[in-house]
């Protein structure tokens, strides 16, 4: 019986498979991007593929004291791939931050001055993503529009000319775009 049919019958009968109630895990990026240990999924990551992924992060978190959900999505995908023992090569995952999300790449001092939050809750995740080989870039046009100096950026955040040119160039070179 197909998984969807089993799920529909289980939910319809008020019975959830044990795996759905199980605790979530973060196998690759500890503490972020939690995934459910669901078994029997029809489509899974394919070990033979080269995963070149491009994330466009444009939205701010609901409140400045929370980790940006689009940034957490990057960790979730790495955790999903890691579950199948797939680790994209260094620099094969690129995050481009722009628009209202731009302040998430600032150091805690600049973030606190801008948002009144005590600390930038995104810095630990950005550091873990960088350790995993992810490039975290910010649009220089968004920095200018948001009046953010490059001196206020978190360590290892790359400044690109514009999000639009980076997104276009990488997609033309084969990166898959994952929008927020």
Q: Are 140 and 166 in contact (CB under 8 A)?
A: no
Q: How far apart are alpha carbons 111 and 39 in whole angstroms? A: 40
Per-residue model confidence as pLDDT tens digits over 131-175: 999 999 999 999 999 999 999 999 999 999 999 999 999 999 999
Top-confidence residue, 160 or 24: 160
Q: Are 81 and 51 in contact (CB under 8 A)?
A: yes
Per-residue model confidence as pLDDT tens digits over 33-63: 999 977 787 788 899 999 999 999 999 999 9
| Structure-token pair, residue 172 | 């033309």
| Architecture of domain 50-179 in this structure | 3-Layer(aba) Sandwich (3.40)
Q: How far apart are alpha carbons 70 and 58 in whole angstroms? A: 8
Per-residue model confidence as pLDDT tens digits over 71-86: 999 999 999 999 889 9
């Amino acid at each position: 019986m197909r998984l969807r049919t089993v799920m529909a019958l289980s939910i319809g009968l008020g019975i959830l498979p044990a795996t759905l109630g199980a605790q979530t895990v973060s196998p690759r990026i500890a503490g972020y991007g939690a995934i459910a240990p669901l078994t029997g999924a029809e489509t899974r990551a394919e070990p033979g593929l080269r995963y070149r992924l491009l994330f466009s992060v444009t939205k701010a978190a609901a409140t400045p004291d929370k980790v940006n959900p689009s940034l957490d999505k990057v960790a979730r995908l790495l955790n999903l791939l890691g579950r199948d023992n797939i680790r994209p090569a260094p620099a094969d995952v690129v995050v481009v931050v722009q628009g209202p999300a731009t302040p998430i790449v600032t150091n805690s001092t600049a973030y606190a001055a801008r948002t009144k939050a005590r600390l930038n809750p995104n810095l630990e995740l950005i550091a873990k993503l960088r350790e995993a080989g992810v490039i975290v870039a910010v649009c220089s046009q968004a920095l200018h529009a948001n009046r953010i100096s490059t001196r206020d950026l978190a360590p290892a955040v790359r400044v690109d000319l514009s999000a639009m040119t980076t997104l276009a160039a990488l997609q033309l070179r084969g990166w898959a775009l994952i929008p927020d």
